[in-house]
Amino acid sequence: MVIGKGCEDSYLSEEETGWLTAEALAQADLTGKRVLVIIPDHTRTAPVPLFFRLFHELLWGRVAALDYLVALGTHQPMDDAALRRLVGITEEEQATTYAGIRIFNHEWADPATFATLGTITEHETRALSNGLLSLDVPVRINKMILDYDHLIVCGPVFPHEVVGFSGGNKYFIPGISGQEIINVTHWLGALLTSMAIIGTADTPVRRMIDWAASFIPTPRLCFAMVMRGEALHGLYIGSMEEAWRAATALSARLDIVYVEHPFRRVLSVMPKMYDDLWTAAKGMYKLEPVVADGGEVIIYAPHITEVSYTHGRVIDQIGYHVRDYFVKQWERFKDYPWGVLAHSTHLRGVGTYENGVEHPRIQVTLATGIPEERCRRINLGYRDPATIDPDEWEGRED
């Protein structure tokens, strides 16, 4: 059963959100249990501070433990000040009101923090991927989840370039999972292409993620949110799959915009919450379908000076290319991290590679603080951000 409410033309008030949360938690068997809440990092828009307060109000004193784990995937860890900002508390509040609550980064770079829960077999990956992949994949998850009696996943659902829609079990995989399943699911998404998968609920990648998450033995409850800007338009609480599916239906209506004709040039203005191109690449992913053949996406982010704080060295080696550039030279690229290959081809977009010549469908240009020489070296266009006034681009869709 799903408890929830969704609104296309209005948003949920804090009072309504509190009622829904109280109803769901009252029905959950959490008394005396150790509870771990899994939340997104700062690159996702969600009212995490509101739910942090609600969970404390409704669960503190009832449960044996209430802790938080930030589903970083492979994003950079957050320092103590950033973690406090994420949940909306001060240093003083952390030391007093919320002294018993711990907030952890997912330590994805430390192999000792993982437990292997099982293996997706070669036969299973072949079936789940519609024959695109065929290999055994170990499912490693942050072993912290095994120290708790109940898990609460609390995060938003949006159209997503790798899986179709974000949220749900994606907070486990890739949120707190090992590199093997991250690489395989992301490369599967790349083989399918973002153009084909974004905004689709039922995808091979989602099936593989849900299958991998089924290895988790700990009971789970999902708080799936639907956002428009900073406003909460929907909240659905229930099982991982049911709450997520209810949220995708509303997200599809709110977050997918249909246009009458494709655009030749699009300026994608990225907020400062994205601090490298790895995260700001969403400025391409989300807009690729509305750009005409031969058109251009300009990612405008003067504040960004780094390609990827985590994977920049690898990207400097491989550059950004269309899918078939890698597929048709697989012996050359197969030993690079598949998740990085996937990011590369998602950002470059669809295209062809024939007889040693690459033909991307559209041009991707960076108007960032990344130097022109590096942009050219990684196979992207460059434009000086100082030559762009975003106000001049507004209202010119026709």
Q: Please name which of 312, 289, 285, 316 lies closest in space to residue 299, comparing C-alpha atoms.
A: 285
128 shares its domain with 100: yes
Query: Would you tell me how many other CB atoms lie within 10 Å of the CB of residue 199?
Result: 18
Last residue in a domain, options 232, 255, 278? 255
In a domain, 343, yes or no: yes
186 shares its domain with 308: no
Residue 331 is predicted with a pLDDT of: 97
What is d(CA 190, CA 323) in angstroms, rounded to the nearest whole number?
Answer: 7
238 shares its domain with 343: no
Structure tokens at 288: 């690729």
60 shares its domain with 204: yes
21 shares its domain with 123: yes
In a domain, 85, yes or no: yes
CATH of the domain at 203: 3.40.50.11440
Is the CB of residue 149 less than 8 Å from the CB of residue 35?
yes
Phi, psi of 308 (to 5 degrees): -160, 125
Domain encompassing residue 36: 3-255
139 shares its domain with 178: yes
Locate the DSSP E strands across 40-94: 65-70
Number of domains in the chain: 2
Mean pLDDT by groups of 10 residues along the chain of 398 residues: 93 96 96 97 87 97 97 88 95 94 94 97 98 97 97 96 95 95 96 95 97 97 94 97 97 94 96 92 93 97 95 96 98 96 96 96 98 97 96 82
In a domain, 40, yes or no: yes
Distance of CA 281 to the CA centre of its chain: 12
Dihedral angle sign, alpha carbons of residues 242, 149, 15, 47: negative
In a domain, 33, yes or no: yes
Locate the DSSP E strands across the chain: 3-6, 34-39, 65-70, 103-105, 114-120, 137-142, 150-156, 159-160, 164-165, 220-228, 231-238, 263-269, 291-301, 351-354, 357-360, 363-368, 381-382
140 shares its domain with 162: yes
Strand partners, 35: 66, 150
180 shares its domain with 98: yes
216 shares its domain with 329: no
Distance of CA 37 to the CA centre of its chain: 17
Distance of CA 387 to the CA centre of its chain: 31
CATH of the domain at 301: 3.90.226.30
In a domain, 398, yes or no: no
Last residue in a domain, options 227, 255, 283? 255
Residue 30 to residues 2, 87, 122, 134, 220, Cα–Cα distance (Å):
17, 22, 37, 40, 11
268 shares its domain with 122: no
In a domain, 313, yes or no: yes
247 shares its domain with 274: no
139 shares its domain with 270: no
Last residue in a domain, options 255, 289, 323? 255
Structure tokens at 226: 């639907």
Task: Write the single-letter amino acid at 53.
Answer: R
In a domain, 236, yes or no: yes
